[in-house]
Structure 1
């Protein structure tokens, strides 16, 4: 798996036969991902160097050959884990695709993964091969090999009991839903901790604790993440970036571009042009 490059580069493509599956091929030396989330899963294999990352509250080092797995909505970041940086291939399967995998395995629930970095050379090789075929546009072969790669990862590493929703009924989770609804109702709005505290009838310190406990982020990190996710959805419509920046609460288009690259690894232009 030798794919090192002297300069940073990233290419995003999409595979229609796999639910418009997004696939990222990237080589980073100094790029660092800001803490963010996806509504999809993240599966990737480090093919050169090493990545240091946090998933939820756990820190990992993923050397070459490692498989990275992130569940939907789990906050995560990433940066170089060695001087040379890292190269990797990732994809972002949506719940519908993973539900198909789960049904074939008769799991009875969407698969969830407790460990963010896995060691399985055979599955890593299968995933990289499937990714290469998909990026090369070999549709039928890519569809077959990627489905089997995802099935293999799920069969071997998914939690058999699914996710434990222990925090979902907590007071913090109920307050958090109020914060979330307030933010999502007006992403371009100006928010202060006092606004969030007032809607839940708690102190600002409690707001900070609730975000850390439920979302694994500070309120500011969560707000930026919501705005970037909304902006990504609008980018698929062809709306001008300046308008998207205004609608989602960014100071201007350049502000949106900087934060988007820090969370998605590619520029808004590259994200839009992915085929």
Structure 2
């Protein structure tokens, strides 16, 4: 077997979207050497490890997700992922947005959007149902099956409460919002701790503490995460990848490609083709 064939055999990723579920993104992937950098999503993440072991951090907790484990990540919760065994891992995930989760919450008569305190849960029947729904080819069949399994996950493991991050963090949250606004205003700009500290009238050490407390990330990890999220949005347009790279603060297209794959698990070209 050639090196290229071996690489294809050990690593593969395919992203699809289900329009009837609000454009729900669904990823089926197998990784041996790939490692996700710490990142966030504006959506929830639900996934099932179908083979191997994934080692991952969710929030501030470290996990080993064995085959059959269900992975749950709340919106804006930092997480990463890498192999937890020599052979790597394979999994299927989906990324429901607030509108879809609100529809589920309304049907379950929850008090708010379901949030989850446990990042890894064990529920063999639900894990199998999730994988079956993920694999279905028929649009209508998949839509119904995925709605049912997501509803069951929310009912069984969700707390049904809206988490108010701002009220929990006080002054840290106020400053963190300011940092986020400054970064979002011009992602192509270079930032350093002194700039953020001056804007919030605190020390550089306080900026580092604020990011750790509010996001569980370093300022650099947060900036990279926001740049990738902005680049992902632009990839849904006709804008060339080279221009997207510059607009979102990357040195060039190859720099964007390297960082994008560490967070999304596939290349910008493959991601754009799915989009």
Q: TM tier, shorter chain?
A: over 0.9
RMSD of Structure 2 on Structure 1 (CA): 1.2
Cα deviation, 1:21-74, whole Å, max 9, x if unaligned, reads 111000000100000001011000000001010011011110000000000110
2:247 aligned partner:
247
**Are 1:82 and 2:94 matched, yes or no?**
no
Distance in 2 between residues matched to 1:270 and 1:23, nearest whole Å: 14
Shift of 1:169: 4.9
* Aligned residue among 57, 62, 79 for 1:54: 57
1:36 aligned partner:
39
Decide whether the 8 Å contact of 1:172 with 1:210 is kept in 2. yes
* Aligned residue among 90, 103, 110 for 2:106: 103
The TM-score with structure 2 as length reference comes to: 0.95
Shift of 1:7: 1.4
2:125 aligned partner:
122
1:1-275 correspondence runs (5 A)? 6-133=9-136, 136=137, 138-163=138-163, 165=165, 167-274=167-274
Q: How many residues align?
A: 268
| Higher relative helix content | 2
Q: Which runs of 5+ in 2 are unaligned?
A: 1-7
Cα deviation, 1:126-163, whole Å, max 9, x if unaligned, reads 10011001xx3x10000000000100101100014443
Q: Which runs of 5+ in 1 are unaligned?
A: none
Q: Detail structure 1 runs of 4+ shifted over 6 Å in the superposition.
A: none
Distance in 1 between residues matched to 2:87 and 2:9, nearest whole Å: 9
Decide whether the 8 Å contact of 1:42 with 1:70 is kept in 2. yes
SS at match of 2:76: coil
SS at match of 2:10: coil
SS at match of 1:156: helix
Distance in 2 between residues matched to 1:163 and 1:113, nearest whole Å: 10
2:3 aligned partner:
none
Distance in 2 between residues matched to 1:143 and 1:115, nearest whole Å: 26
Decide whether the 8 Å contact of 2:13 with 2:28 is kept in 1. yes
Closer/same/farther in 2, CA of residues 165 and 249 from structure 1, 3 Å limit:
closer
Shift of 1:164: 5.4
Decide whether the 8 Å contact of 2:111 with 2:161 is kept in 1. no
SS at match of 2:258: helix
Distance in 2 between residues matched to 1:83 and 1:164, nearest whole Å: 40
Distance in 1 between residues matched to 2:252 and 2:177, nearest whole Å: 29
Distance in 1 between residues matched to 2:135 and 2:208, nearest whole Å: 43
SS at match of 1:46: strand
Decide whether the 8 Å contact of 1:33 with 1:78 is kept in 2. yes
